Amino acid sequence: MANRPTIDQDSLVDNDREKQVEFTAEIDSEDRDFAVKYAVLREVSGDEPDNDALELFERFSDEILDICADLAELRPTANLITVTESDLE
Protein backbone atom coordinates (compact mmCIF):
# COMPACT_ATOMS: atom_id res chain seq x y z
CA MET A 1 0.00 0.00 0.00
CA ALA A 2 1.18 3.52 -0.83
CA ASN A 3 1.73 6.14 1.83
CA ARG A 4 -1.42 7.73 3.22
CA PRO A 5 -2.42 10.89 1.32
CA THR A 6 -2.10 14.25 3.07
CA ILE A 7 -5.04 16.46 2.12
CA ASP A 8 -4.51 20.06 1.10
CA GLN A 9 -7.36 21.44 3.23
CA ASP A 10 -7.64 24.53 1.00
CA SER A 11 -8.53 22.30 -1.95
CA LEU A 12 -11.41 20.47 -0.22
CA VAL A 13 -14.65 21.25 -2.10
CA ASP A 14 -18.20 19.91 -2.05
CA ASN A 15 -19.21 19.67 -5.72
CA ASP A 16 -22.94 19.12 -5.26
CA ARG A 17 -23.55 19.33 -9.02
CA GLU A 18 -21.35 16.25 -9.61
CA LYS A 19 -22.37 14.77 -6.23
CA GLN A 20 -18.80 14.37 -5.02
CA VAL A 21 -16.22 15.79 -2.64
CA GLU A 22 -13.06 16.87 -4.46
CA PHE A 23 -9.58 17.52 -3.10
CA THR A 24 -5.88 17.50 -3.84
CA ALA A 25 -3.61 15.41 -1.67
CA GLU A 26 0.09 14.77 -1.52
CA ILE A 27 0.98 11.12 -1.76
CA ASP A 28 4.52 9.84 -2.16
CA SER A 29 5.73 13.46 -2.64
CA GLU A 30 3.32 14.01 -5.53
CA ASP A 31 0.11 16.04 -5.71
CA ARG A 32 -2.85 13.96 -6.86
CA ASP A 33 -6.46 14.97 -7.47
CA PHE A 34 -9.27 12.92 -5.95
CA ALA A 35 -13.06 12.87 -6.06
CA VAL A 36 -15.18 10.88 -3.62
CA LYS A 37 -18.71 10.22 -4.81
CA TYR A 38 -21.63 10.89 -2.47
CA ALA A 39 -22.54 7.20 -2.77
CA VAL A 40 -19.28 6.36 -0.97
CA LEU A 41 -20.07 8.83 1.80
CA ARG A 42 -23.57 7.36 2.11
CA GLU A 43 -22.18 3.82 2.28
CA VAL A 44 -19.54 4.51 4.94
CA SER A 45 -21.73 6.77 7.08
CA GLY A 46 -25.25 5.43 6.60
CA ASP A 47 -26.43 9.04 6.07
CA GLU A 48 -27.40 11.03 2.98
CA PRO A 49 -24.65 13.59 2.26
CA ASP A 50 -27.10 16.23 0.99
CA ASN A 51 -26.07 19.27 3.03
CA ASP A 52 -23.15 17.92 5.02
CA ALA A 53 -20.91 16.09 2.56
CA LEU A 54 -17.74 17.79 3.82
CA GLU A 55 -18.63 16.95 7.42
CA LEU A 56 -19.23 13.29 6.51
CA PHE A 57 -15.99 13.23 4.55
CA GLU A 58 -14.05 14.60 7.53
CA ARG A 59 -15.71 12.18 9.94
CA PHE A 60 -14.85 9.12 7.82
CA SER A 61 -11.63 10.41 6.26
CA ASP A 62 -9.40 7.67 7.72
CA GLU A 63 -11.29 4.94 5.87
CA ILE A 64 -11.66 7.06 2.73
CA LEU A 65 -7.96 7.99 2.64
CA ASP A 66 -6.97 4.32 2.91
CA ILE A 67 -9.06 3.67 -0.21
CA CYS A 68 -7.53 6.70 -1.94
CA ALA A 69 -4.02 5.40 -1.23
CA ASP A 70 -4.87 2.00 -2.72
CA LEU A 71 -6.42 3.58 -5.81
CA ALA A 72 -3.48 5.93 -6.31
CA GLU A 73 -1.21 2.92 -6.39
CA LEU A 74 -3.49 1.11 -8.86
CA ARG A 75 -3.90 4.18 -11.10
CA PRO A 76 -0.50 5.89 -11.08
CA THR A 77 -1.10 7.92 -14.25
CA ALA A 78 -4.70 9.00 -13.64
CA ASN A 79 -5.25 12.77 -13.66
CA LEU A 80 -8.24 12.40 -11.33
CA ILE A 81 -8.85 9.43 -9.08
CA THR A 82 -12.56 8.99 -8.48
CA VAL A 83 -13.63 6.84 -5.54
CA THR A 84 -16.93 5.09 -6.26
CA GLU A 85 -19.09 2.63 -4.40
CA SER A 86 -17.47 -0.26 -6.28
CA ASP A 87 -14.10 0.66 -4.70
CA LEU A 88 -15.38 -0.19 -1.22
CA GLU A 89 -14.48 -3.61 0.16
Angle of helix 61-74 relative to helix 38-45, nearest 10 degrees, comes to 130
Tell me: pLDDT of 25 over 60: yes
pLDDT at 28: 84
Residue 75 has a pLDDT of: 94
- Distances in Å between the Cα of 50 and the Cα atoms of 1, 30, 34, 38 are 32, 31, 19, 8
Q: Is the pLDDT of residue 4 over 80?
A: yes
Nearest to 11 by CA among 24, 26, 21: 24
Determine the pLDDT at residue 26: 95
pTM for the model: 0.93
Number of Cβ within a 10 Å radius of residue 16: 13
Output the CATH code of domain 6-87. 3.30.160.140
Q: Is the dihedral of CA 17, 21, 27, 31 positive or negative?
A: positive
Cα radius of gyration rounded to whole Å, the chain: 12
DSSP classification of residue 79: S
